[in-house]
Amino acid sequence: MTPLTHQPADAPSVHTEELLRRFDTPGPRYTSYPTADRFAEQFGPADAVRVLQARSRVGSGEPLSLYVHIPFCESLCYYCGCNKIITKHHERAAEYLDALETELALVVGSLGSGRPVSQLHFGGGSPTFLSDAELSRVMNGLGAAFELTPDSEVSIEVDPRTVTPDRLAHFRALGFNLLSFGVQDFDPDVQQAVHRVQSFEMVRGLMQSARELGYVSINADLIYGLPKQTPASFARTVQQIGELRPDRIALYAYAHLPERFKPQRRIAEVDLPTAPQRIAMLGDAIAGLLARGYDYIGMDHFALPEDSLAVAKREGRLHRNFQGYSTQPDCDVVALGVSAIGRVGGSYYQNARTLPEYYESLQQDLLPVVRGYALTADDELRRDVIMAWMCQGRVEFAPIERKHRVRMSDCFAAELQCLRGMASSGLVVLGDDAIEVTTSGWFLVRAVAMLFDRHL
């Protein structure tokens, strides 16, 4: 068998849409393995210090990835399940940035200063809640603590309602070279239903400005399954996003969990599309994006063939971390800010999810880590297998067996038996020395990866 090096331009067949109905079930997005719901409170600040200090001694020259969480938003989006704080009081950011600088000093105290960074991402909330001066303050602090590599990816999530072309120019001057616009849907009825109104014309103007400013890559987020959506209305949104032609598109499924996320209680369940409608939206969106020249990267991501993400996919260099698919090598992630999740060595850690807890830890000069997870040998084996599925769509036995000193047929006898059923459905191709997903299987790669998740 040969690796999957390209994606066909043709749209999914009816067979693929039938498979979506059978296998497109809820499950982890595998930005980590094990997933964050397996983290334990026994992992605390002292454990985080230990893994950071170990990183300072071993592999200190390997580039890091940085994640900075800014939790504030001016307006509540009813669909949102992110950790955010809704406020119009921008003065609250000053106290948060003070705390962020304290956390940064504690991290550098254990990790060492001047470590190379090849990827920096601002998420939230809405990072663009910060003023230009405040964002400059954060970037200056990070620049003093770390060393951005010449080819580093520096990205920020953008709420189109909070930026102007001038602000985008300021971000570019600070070193940002990737933007991610939260679009979700262009239909006015859907926007009203989720309390996020932003016109197509506004987003088009901002994307045009970003291109003129020389941003390397522009992403747009879409969500299907929102209230008031129909297959026809979402097809119009896909058509409009195709007209804007962002370099990357993330196509997420809305998960309605009002018992877990209070803002979602404002959504009337009667307004939600039915399961068959959701499947139709997904199938039509996949077909529409492929027909418009986008490559399917995996899971919920698409990119134009010339984008670095698509190039990395073709060359087998794709990786996955807490921000989704990445062109960067599988590097350690240092996370800063309330609720932020990092990974250093064989350990994951997460900061306090509320501002009072976050502030209290830092006032005591403690890292605000409240839970984490130290991987076992079995976790590391399964992580490598799952990430191979998610990123390459192919698991080669020999490298896995050499690295982990196992036999795939012994360790995964039950999983391989399940894969035979998927093979009969046309999702995977089984070989003596490797297994890979088919073109149809790529659209359901999460279902394949879930077979190898011991924690489910």
How confident is the model over 115-138, as a mean pLDDT?
Answer: 96
How wide is the angle at C-alpha 41 spanned by C-alphas 35 and 44, nearest 5°?
A: 105
Whether 169 and 255 share a structural domain: yes
In a domain, 362, yes or no: no
pLDDT per residue as tens digits for the range 157-216 = 999 999 999 999 999 999 999 999 999 999 999 999 999 999 999 999 999 999 999 999
Q: Which residues contact 314 (CB under 8 A, 6 or more apart)?
A: 5, 6, 295
Percent of the chain residues past pLDDT 70, beyond the cut: 94
How confident is the model over 306-316, as a mean pLDDT?
Answer: 93
Task: Specify the range with the lowest mean pLDDT, choosing from 23-32, 119-128, 290-299.
Answer: 23-32
Highest mean pLDDT among 169-183, 285-299, 311-325: 169-183
Gyration radius of the chain over CA positions = 22
Which domain covers residue 276, as residue numbers? 29-336
Of 283, 304, 336, the one marking the end of a domain is 336
Whether 207 and 143 share a structural domain: yes
Whether 155 and 206 share a structural domain: yes
pLDDT band at 24 (very low <50, low <70, confident <90, very high): low
Whether 206 and 265 share a structural domain: yes
In a domain, 153, yes or no: yes
In a domain, 121, yes or no: yes
How confident is the model over 368-389, as a mean pLDDT?
Answer: 95
How confident is the model over 120-138, as a mean pLDDT?
Answer: 97
CA neighbor of 178 nearest in space, from 138, 140, 213: 213
In a domain, 363, yes or no: no
Tell me the average pLDDT of the chain: 91
Whether 156 and 261 share a structural domain: yes
Whether 105 and 193 share a structural domain: yes
Q: What is the pTM of this model?
A: 0.91
Of 336, 368, 398, the one marking the end of a domain is 336
As a whole number of angstroms, the distance between CA 297 and CA 286 comes to 11
pLDDT band at 26 (very low <50, low <70, confident <90, very high): confident
pLDDT at residue 359 in the model: 98
How confident is the model over 42-56, as a mean pLDDT?
Answer: 95
Whether 92 and 188 share a structural domain: yes
As a whole number of angstroms, the distance between CA 38 and CA 373 comes to 7
As a whole number of angstroms, the distance between CA 145 and CA 107 comes to 10
In a domain, 359, yes or no: no
In a domain, 357, yes or no: no
pLDDT at residue 421 in the model: 87
Does residue 270 register a pLDDT over 80?
yes
pLDDT at residue 3 in the model: 35
Q: Say which CATH number the domain at 247 has.
A: 3.80.30.20
Whether 433 and 417 share a structural domain: yes
Q: Name the domain count of the chain.
A: 2
pLDDT at residue 300 in the model: 85
Does residue 244 register a pLDDT over 70?
yes
Does residue 10 register a pLDDT over 50?
no
In a domain, 370, yes or no: no
pLDDT per residue as tens digits for the range 380-395 = 999 999 999 999 889 9
As a whole number of angstroms, the distance between CA 4 and CA 74 comes to 43
Whether 8 and 153 share a structural domain: no
pLDDT at residue 17 in the model: 65
Q: Which residues contact 322 (CB under 8 A, 6 or more apart)?
A: 31, 32, 67, 333, 335, 341, 343
pLDDT band at 332 (very low <50, low <70, confident <90, very high): very high
Contact (Cβ atoms closer than 8 angstroms) between residue 304 and residue 293: yes
How confident is the model over 102-111, as a mean pLDDT?
Answer: 97
SS3 180: strand
pLDDT at residue 6 in the model: 34
C-alpha distances in angstroms, 3 versus 199, 431, 439? 42, 12, 12
As a whole number of angstroms, the distance between CA 74 and CA 115 comes to 34
pLDDT at residue 16 in the model: 59
Whether 10 and 133 share a structural domain: no
Whether 201 and 308 share a structural domain: yes
Task: Specify the range with the lowest mean pLDDT, choosing from 154-163, 218-227, 373-382, 416-425.
Answer: 416-425
Q: Say which CATH number the domain at 411 has.
A: 1.10.10.920
pLDDT band at 97 (very low <50, low <70, confident <90, very high): very high
Contact (Cβ atoms closer than 8 angstroms) between residue 370 and residue 352: yes
Residue type, 123: G
Whether 422 and 289 share a structural domain: no
In a domain, 328, yes or no: yes
